[in-house]
Amino acid sequence: MLAPRTLSLLLSASLLGFSGLTLPAEPPPHPHHPPPQPGLNGSDGALSADLPVALRVFSVDYHHVQAPFEIVLWIMLASLAKLGFHWSGRVPAVVPESCLLIMVGLLVGGVIYGVRHSAPPTLSAEAFFLFLLPPIVLDAGYFLPGRLFFENLGTILWYAVLGTLWNVLGIGLSLHGVCLLASASLGDVSLLHCLLFGSLIAAVDPVAVLSVFQEVRVNEQLHILVFGESLLNDAVTVVLYKLFESFLRLPSVSGLDVLLGGCRVLAVGLGGLCVGLFFGLVAALTSRFTSRAPVIAPLFVFLYSYLSYLTSEMLHLSGITAIVTCAVTMKQYVEANVSEHSNISIQYFLKMWSSVSETLIFIFLGVSTIQDIHMWSWPFVFSTLLLCLVWRASGVLLLTAVVNKLRRNAVTFRDQFIIAYGGLRGAICFSLVFLIDDFPKKRLFITTTIVVILFTVFVQGMTIKPLVELLDVKRKKRALPTVSEEIHSRLIDHLLAGIEDVVGYWGQHYWKDKFEQFNRKYLRRFLIREDHQAPSSILRVYQELERREQRGDEEAPPVDPRRHGRPLLPEEMDSIRRILSRNLQRFSNKQTPAYSRHALHQDAAVERPRRPLHSHQSLGEPCTHHTVTHRPQQAEDREFSGAHRVRAGLSRSHTVCSISPTLSPGDPSASAQGVRVDPEPPEAHTSSRHQAPEDRTAKKQLSFILQNEQQQ
């Protein structure tokens, strides 16, 4: 493991060196530049000045490519660092990625500072808000577990709005108190400044939260609470920040202004929501018509989302809310409309961009720490740190006490601790602090912000995992739901909806049913291509099963050994279990694994493309597979059986087909027909053989029916 690591470090170091040399404020004179001739433009290439001089074979024109070159270098550095991080064995288990990236950034910043003796390039707020933040939030929004999010929406809003308000006011006012106490050094920091600072430091940052919770696998209800809060508190933060900033510019502040500010929070949040909804629906509609040009279909997803973000930023609404809403809205329709390959492209691009963005953000955080403009003040910094922790903890405790009365699923004390402790600050605070109008103590604010960010990311980020383990937070269970669970859960859902109707109580099932009806009747008809409208999600699941069989998913979890000897098909069960777990509506949030940045095709991923393939080629060829399966298979030949599963497709004659390696640990030479039939009496053996041809014909008809249904 050491060699690739050192290799990547070497590469990084060389890149650093290069960047150190090439990032000065003015480009050095070209080494091969010919002596300037009178009347000639000095920065031209060697060609025009060559008349008296021989032709240059090789010359360097850095100026020409400077800007994109530097950007690419930074991205390359970030990606190599990330690569090195993942190759470094035990380190990721202890130190979250964000910490390591910041450390790399610190290193790079130090090198640049050492080489050039001036501050390294800082993360400009504009670049951050316009280019680096949207991909991350889009990725998060696209893979948001929708159902869970909406179930917990009340609680999330409660934490986001009220919690942020509590934190902002608390931190602002207490800091002002501290400034008054230490008026010798901090006397010129006014109340409004403190409130402004409070507004930007109180907000929990989705980027940091996401990156740390990657490593910590908490149950996803908890994950969605913290993450949802970090997403939605953007609205509040933006408004408060802008509010206090404009108050600072006003000569005086009246009560009316404060009231208007409150209304603005609502307007900003709802406005962002509406913008996102609009663009989401338009994107869904557009994707309906992309069948003739499937290659650019993914582009629309990104374009519309980014457009929604920019539009709401333009209108001073909450961009994060807009982009998240857009992603959540358009997702199911886009997935239905667009081909499988496009779906995968969309997901991979999202992950890639958000990964790059996140890495860049953290590295720049590290780089920007090395600066000349720090101003230190022990009381201010330490009291800020303390107050952040204290106010967050108290806020969470109080709010949870209230909200637990209204929730079915109470937020336990351990969950509360994780919510409070997992409130990390990140690059949003950092960018916001740079945007403050200049005033004497601005540098102090910057320093304090950086300290708080570093503290939360490093200390809280590193200790949260051991603390979680210590407190035995209810971890997500790895078990996948079975077909029975899905079906019975669906039954229970319908039952509960019915009982609620009887009782006349409009619980969450009622609204969910109503939305589903509306969705089915109007939205899906309008926004999804005709040939893609699947009738029922159990059918969709079934189709998905077929599809994945054909793609030869090798991720079959080991089969429960007591399934041996059944007349029916355990392998199919695994497949359908996998498919169901990824596709059907999640009914119990304890079962669903939380969103994972680094994984797409794992059991840990949340949502899956549900659409069957365009070309149901395998549907038409069940006959040929039968002959294949009749040949006796040897269990040792894993590849053959693996490939076999791919080709078996719909014929699904796994009883006669070969086994996946996991199935037969004790059956070294299992023949195709007899693989799990050894313990069984011969009649069962023959009957399963008997069944197989019938099964196959049945499945053959089945596949054709399926195909016909699709075409209708």
Partner 1 sequence: MGSRASTLLREEEIEEIKKETGFSHSQITRLYSRFTSLDKGENGTLSREDFQRIPELAINPLGDRIINAFFPESEDQVNFRGFMRTLAHFRPIEDNEKNKNPTAGEPLNSRTNKLLFAFRLYDLDRDDKISRDELLQVLRMMVGVNISDEQLGSIADRTIQEADTNGDNSISFNEFIKVLEKVDVEQKMSIRFLH
Binding site for partner 1 (CB under 8 A): 408-409, 477, 479, 481-485, 487-505, 507, 510, 513, 535-536, 538-539, 542, 563, 566, 568-569, 572-573, 576, 587-588, 590-591, 698-699, 701-702, 705-706, 709
What letter represents residue 12's amino acid? S
Least distance to partner 1 from the beta carbon of 541, Å? 9
Lookup: tokens for 311: 């539009």
Contact 472, 218 (CB under 8 A): no
Nearer of residues 252 and 536 to partner 1, judged by Cβ = 536
Least distance to partner 1 from the beta carbon of 404, Å? 12
Nearer of residues 401 and 479 to partner 1, judged by Cβ = 479
Nearer of residues 201 and 706 to partner 1, judged by Cβ = 706
Nearer of residues 52 and 679 to partner 1, judged by Cβ = 679
Q: Residue 81: how many CA atoms within 13 Å on its side-chain side?
A: 31
Least distance to partner 1 from the beta carbon of 544, Å? 13
Contact 77, 19 (CB under 8 A): yes
Least distance to partner 1 from the beta carbon of 488, Å? 6
Least distance to partner 1 from the beta carbon of 573, Å? 6
Least distance to partner 1 from the beta carbon of 590, Å? 6
Nearer of residues 217 and 392 to partner 1, judged by Cβ = 217
Nearer of residues 130 and 483 to partner 1, judged by Cβ = 483
Contact 550, 618 (CB under 8 A): yes
Nearer of residues 252 and 712 to partner 1, judged by Cβ = 712
Place of tokens 């402790």: 421
Lookup: tokens for 305: 């989302």
Ramachandran assignment for 565, one of left (phi > 0), alpha (psi -120 to 50 degrees), beta (any other): left
Contact 85, 92 (CB under 8 A): yes
Nearer of residues 185 and 537 to partner 1, judged by Cβ = 537
Least distance to partner 1 from the beta carbon of 596, Å? 21
Per DSSP, helices labelled H in 435-520 are: 442-454, 461-471, 483-503, 508-518
3-state secondary structure string, 243-277? HHHHHHHCCCCCHHHHHHHHHHHHHHHHHHHHHHH
Q: Does residue 172 sit in helix, strand or coil? A: helix
Least distance to partner 1 from the beta carbon of 4, Å? 41
Least distance to partner 1 from the beta carbon of 533, Å? 10
CA pair distance 31, 14, nearest whole angstrom = 20
Nearer of residues 225 and 454 to partner 1, judged by Cβ = 225
Least distance to partner 1 from the beta carbon of 566, Å? 6
DSSP 532: G
Nearer of residues 229 and 485 to partner 1, judged by Cβ = 485
Least distance to partner 1 from the beta carbon of 563, Å? 8
Any residues with CB less than 8 A from the CB of 455 and at least 6 apart, and which? 385
* For helices 133-142 and 340-369, angle between their N-to-C axes, nearest 10 degrees: 140
Contact 422, 213 (CB under 8 A): yes
- The Cα-based distances of 268 to 185, 313, 426 in angstroms read 37, 10, 22
Q: Does residue 112 sit in helix, strand or coil? A: helix
CA pair distance 335, 521, nearest whole angstrom = 18
Least distance to partner 1 from the beta carbon of 235, Å? 29
**CB-CB neighbours of 278 under 10 Å:** 17
Nearer of residues 505 and 518 to partner 1, judged by Cβ = 505
Least distance to partner 1 from the beta carbon of 336, Å? 16
Nearer of residues 242 and 407 to partner 1, judged by Cβ = 407
Any residues with CB less than 8 A from the CB of 76 and at least 6 apart, and which? 15
CA pair distance 457, 95, nearest whole angstrom = 10
Nearer of residues 581 and 641 to partner 1, judged by Cβ = 581
Least distance to partner 1 from the beta carbon of 702, Å? 5
Nearer of residues 466 and 498 to partner 1, judged by Cβ = 498
DSSP 473: -
- CA-CA-CA-CA torsion sign (26, 29, 33, 37): positive
Contacts of residues 89-92 at CB distance under 8 Å and 24 or more positions apart, as own/partner, are: 89/1, 92/215
CA pair distance 316, 463, nearest whole angstrom = 37
What letter represents residue 582's amino acid? R
Contact 547, 612 (CB under 8 A): yes
CA pair distance 500, 514, nearest whole angstrom = 13
CA 114 to chain centre: 36
